[in-house]
Amino acid sequence: MKNEKEYAIVMNGVAKEFKVLNRREGLMGSIRDLFSRDYRTVTAVDDISIKIPKGQIVGYLGPNGAGKSTTIKMMTGVLEPSRGELIVNGCVPYKNRTRNAEKIGVVFGQRSQLWWSLPLIESFKLLKEIYLIPDDEYNEMMELYTSLVDLEPLLHKTVRQMSLGQRTLSDILAAFLHNPQIVFLDEPTIGLDVSMKAKIRELIKELNRRKNTTVILTTHDMGDVDALCERIVIIDHGKMIYDNDMEHLKTYYGSYRTLKLRMPGDVWEEEVIDESQTDVMSVISDYQKKGKILDIKLEEIATEEVIKKIYEGVAG
């Protein structure tokens, strides 16, 4: 049992509800809307309880509109939970938004938080002032950055002039600059090419390792999950439907393998096998009866498939 202090985030039955205006359809409907007071309550986040230890990289997954960004907004102190207890870095984020903000870093989708028309180095200097980063820590961080990425060509570019990849990279660097306890990354690799994705993942992993920063990552990209996450939390319709570590996910669904066989006529046959039920060898021998097997491949099931199974399992 861990001491409460060792957790970066503790959520206890946290829920968030919104009031939404019911809009009517058509021309007359919009006229009636002018006078409407017809609201309904939508529960965006429903009774979520998790404890996230310091230094962990957590993949926070779910389909669009599942309540991911609402949760992030609550954790960052922008939104107040309707119910439940939420402690981030030992304090209640909504009551101490600025104090909480000092100890966290956020990269929100493709929206750069840097000053659009300033060279990156100037943005960094301003952040140094805003987060009151001491000179030595700042210099140390810049040295670390220089050792990890090719920083020099970026520093004198304005964010406006950067490519999407460079901008994302800069935003991530900016989010880690004040050595926060927790960094929230929302879709950090969206829209990037393969090599840039790899670069960004490497950077996040390295920064997490060196600074023991807790990372909360929301993404739709399973590559991100595979490369980074130690633990997976999945929510759907505001409810938490899965919370366990990556190992568990793999052992749980690890008994599933995809067997690929090249049969005469150069045809690849695919068979998903649950090893707890069926024996791989028996499947192979069944095929052998049909004809000569030219080639055999045995693949682990992709995480994406696993998560799809989890979604389906709950929805269906």
Partner 1 sequence: MSETMELRAKRGLAFYARIYRKVLAQDLKSKMSYRADFIISTFGMIMTNAVGFISFYILFQNFPSINGWNYYEMLFFYGFSLIALTPLQCLFDNNWSLRYAVESGDFIKYCFRPINVFFYFISEVFDVKGLGQLAFGIMVLVYAWIHLAIPVTVITMVQLVLLLITASLFMIAIMNFAAATCFWIQRSGYVMVLMFRFKDYAKYPASIFDGLFKIIFTFVIPIAFIAYYPALVILRPDEIPLLSYLSPALGMLFFYLSYKFWMLGARKYNGTGS
Partner 2 sequence: MRKYSALTRAGIMQELQFRLGTFATIFGNLIYLTLIYNLWKAIYASAGTEVVNGMTFSDTIIYLVLATALFNFLEMFIVWDMSRSIQSGAIVLDLLKPLKYRRLKFFEYFGRNVMTFFTTFLPTFIIVFFITKGAIKIGLNIIFFMISVVLALMVNFYIEMFVATICLHTESTWGINIVKESIVLLFSGATIPLVFFPEKFRIVVECMPFRCIYDTPLNILLQKPGYTMDTGLWTMLGMQVVWCAGLSVVSRMFWDISVKRITVNGG
| Partner whose footprint covers residue 108, from partner 1, partner 2, none (CB < 5 to 8 Å by kind) | partner 1
**Could you give the CA distance from residue 67 to residue 43 in angstroms, rounded to a whole number?**
9
- Contact track, partner 1, 4-33, x by CB under 8 A: --------------x---------------
Q: Check: CB of residue 20 under 8 Å from CB of residue 39.
A: yes
Strands 57-61 and 231-236: parallel
Terminal Cα-to-Cα distance of the chain (whole angstroms): 35
SS3 category, 55: coil
| Partner whose footprint covers residue 135, from partner 2, partner 1, none (CB < 5 to 8 Å by kind) | none
Residues 10, 50, 118, 280: which binds partner 1 (CB under 8 A)? 118
State residue 155 phi and psi, 5-degree precision. Answer: -55, -35
Residues 22, 117, 139, 161: which binds partner 1 (CB under 8 A)? 117
- Contact track, partner 2, 26-65, x by CB under 8 A: -x--xx-xxxx-----------------------------
DSSP 149: S
In angstroms, give the least distance from the CB of 296 to partner 1.
Answer: 50
SS3 category, 183: strand
**Could you give the CA distance from residue 267 to residue 283 in angstroms, rounded to a whole number?**
17
SS3 category, 301: coil
| Partner whose footprint covers residue 281, from partner 2, partner 1, none (CB < 5 to 8 Å by kind) | none
By beta-carbon proximity to partner 1, the closer residue of 12 and 158 is 158
Q: How many CA atoms lie within 13 A of 308 on its CB side?
A: 7
Instruction: Enumerate binding residues for partner 2 (CB under 8 A).
Output: 23, 27, 30-31, 33-36
Instruction: Enumerate binding residues for partner 1 (CB under 8 A).
Output: 18, 44, 69-70, 73, 76, 78-80, 96-102, 104, 106, 108, 111-113, 115, 117-118, 122, 125-126, 129-132, 158
